[in-house]
């Protein structure tokens, strides 16, 4: 296993639409394992491949709470096949926009089709925080960050704070 480098805003790879994967083989599973390790090391609950510089449609998620048994999920080529009319607002953060948070509105539940770690087709109904995390990650595969889903004014304020925090920490955050 290996920890991968995280790409942060405004790296252009985060704006690119990622490519579909055509087969789940050992090399791909190794990448999924490394993504999971990277996510755990940075205390994230989800991670998409573009965040580690790989423009492929791969996501890992673990929404288990602290002190709970880990429950890793691997989503290859995830697709939202249904979204609820009902919307929900929740506070989001992103490892690629470190130290910042904002409220984002999204469908409250979504049905997602994907291939699992073994390349088998799966479909799940994601609700509550899993719905938020899965939509946040699938957005990454389409080059969309949660800050693209907030008002211009809020985004400008958030990006100013990010810039300030980076300066204060000696540029590297």
- Residues recognised as catalytic: 137
Instruction: Measure the CA–CA gap between 94 and 112, rounded to whole angstroms.
Output: 21
Q: Closer CB to ligand GNR, residue 71 or residue 121? A: 71
* Adjacent-strand bridge partners of 19: 56
Please state, in angstroms and as integers, the Cα–Cα distance from residue 102 to each residue in 42, 89, 97, following that order: 19, 10, 11
Q: Would you give the distance in Å from CA 134 to the centre of its chain? A: 7
94 part of the interface to Ni ion, by CB under 5 A: yes
- Select the residue interacting with ligand GNR from 14, 28, 73, 95 (CB under 6 A): 95
Q: Which one of 30-38, 116-124, 132-140, 163-171 is the stretch in contact with ligand GNR (CB under 6 A)?
A: 132-140
- Please state the closest distance from residue 29 (CB atom) to Ni ion, in A: 22
25 or 148: CB nearest ligand GNR: 148
Rounded least distance, CB 152 to ligand GNR, Å: 21
- Candidates 8-16, 52-60, 92-100, 108-116 — which segment interacts with Ni ion by CB under 5 A? 92-100
Burial 149-167 (b: 16+ CB within 10 A, else e): bbeeeebeebeeebeeeee
Instruction: Provide, rounded to whole angstroms, the least separation between the CB of residue 35 and ligand GNR.
Output: 10
Hey, what's the torsion of the CAs at 98, 107, 64, 118, to 10 degrees? Answer: -100
Q: Which stretch binds ligand GNR (CB under 6 A): 24-32, 72-80, 89-97, 114-122?
A: 89-97
């Amino acid at each position: 296993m290996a920890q991968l480098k995280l790409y942060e805003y405004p790296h252009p790879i985060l704006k690119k639409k990622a490519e579909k994967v055509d087969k789940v083989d050992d090399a791909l599973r190794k990448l999924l394992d490394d993504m999971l390790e990277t996510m755990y090391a940075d205390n994230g609950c989800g991670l998409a491949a573009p965040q580690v510089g790989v423009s492929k449609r791969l996501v890992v998620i673990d929404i288990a709470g602290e002190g709970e048994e880990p429950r890793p999920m691997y989503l290859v080529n995830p697709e939202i096949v249904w979204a609820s009319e009902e919307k929900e607002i929740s506070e989001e953060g992103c490892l690629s926009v470190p130290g910042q948070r904002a409220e984002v509105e999204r469908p409250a539940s979504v049905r997602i089709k994907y291939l699992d770690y073994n390349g088998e087709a799966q479909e799940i109904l994601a609700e509550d925080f899993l719905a938020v995390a899965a939509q946040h990650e699938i957005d990454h595969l389409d080059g969309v960050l949660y800050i693209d889903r907030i008002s211009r004014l809020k985004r400008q304020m958030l990006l100013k704070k990010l810039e300030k925090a980076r300066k204060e920490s000696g540029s590297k955050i």
